[in-house]
């Protein structure tokens, strides 16, 4: 018995995997994708757009992640890199002034955070819809080719 020949009665895993891959390729040629594959296409596009824009990789991961910790917030920390008594006095002065500054900035920052979140959702949904439409267009082109007699319905080579 050879290493490449399966024992009698055992499934031929290599052949089965080859058939599965061919079936997936035929379905993709026909424009048939699962929802998970469309989501994967969406994620790939969003990452490619982020890399094209030269966005820091850590920020891109935060932008595409499930949380919204990338957005601006009004509850910022007051700290300094300086040392000594002057540093402590500076932090204290900033903390004393902070409530008055926040009277003017909180409303603007909250509004900007809402706009940022809305635009992020809008863009993600737009890219997702574009990917879905591209898959649908591919399926329609395949159906048109089949109806015109250019390819058999199973995605194999054209009859002729």
Q: What is the DSSP string of 97-114?
A: HHHHHHHHHHHHHHHHHH
H or E segment and range at residue 50 = helix 35-52
Say how many C-beta atoms besides its own lie within 10 A of residue 57's C-beta.
10
Q: pTM for this structure?
A: 0.58
Residue of 67, 74, 71, 130 whose CA lies nearest to 104: 74
Check residue 122 and give its pLDDT: 93
Q: Percent of the chain beyond pLDDT 70?
A: 82
Contact 112, 72 (CB under 8 A): yes
pLDDT band at 2 (very low <50, low <70, confident <90, very high): very low
Using only C-alpha atoms, what is the Rg of the chain?
28
Lowest mean pLDDT of 3-7, 47-51, 80-84, 92-96, name the range. Answer: 3-7
Lowest mean pLDDT of 1-15, 23-37, 85-99, 134-148, name the range. Answer: 1-15
């Amino acid at each position: 018995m050879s290493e490449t020949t399966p024992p009698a009665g055992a499934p031929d895993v290599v052949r089965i995997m080859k058939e599965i891959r061919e079936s997936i390729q035929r379905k993709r040629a026909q424009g048939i994708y699962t929802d998970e594959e469309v989501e994967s296409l969406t994620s790939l596009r969003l990452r490619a757009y982020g890399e094209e824009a030269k966005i820091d990789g850590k920020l891109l991961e935060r932008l595409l992640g499930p949380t919204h910790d990338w957005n601006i917030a009004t509850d910022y920390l007051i700290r300094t890199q300086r040392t000594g008594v002057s540093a402590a006095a500076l932090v204290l002065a900033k903390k004393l002034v902070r409530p008055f500054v926040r009277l003017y900035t909180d409303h603007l920052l909250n509004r900007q955070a809402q706009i940022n979140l809305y635009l992020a959702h809008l863009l993600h949904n737009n890219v997702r819809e574009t990917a879905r439409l591209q898959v649908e267009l591919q399926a329609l082109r395949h159906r048109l080719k089949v109806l015109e007699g250019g390819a058999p319905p199973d995605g194999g080579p054209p009859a002729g």
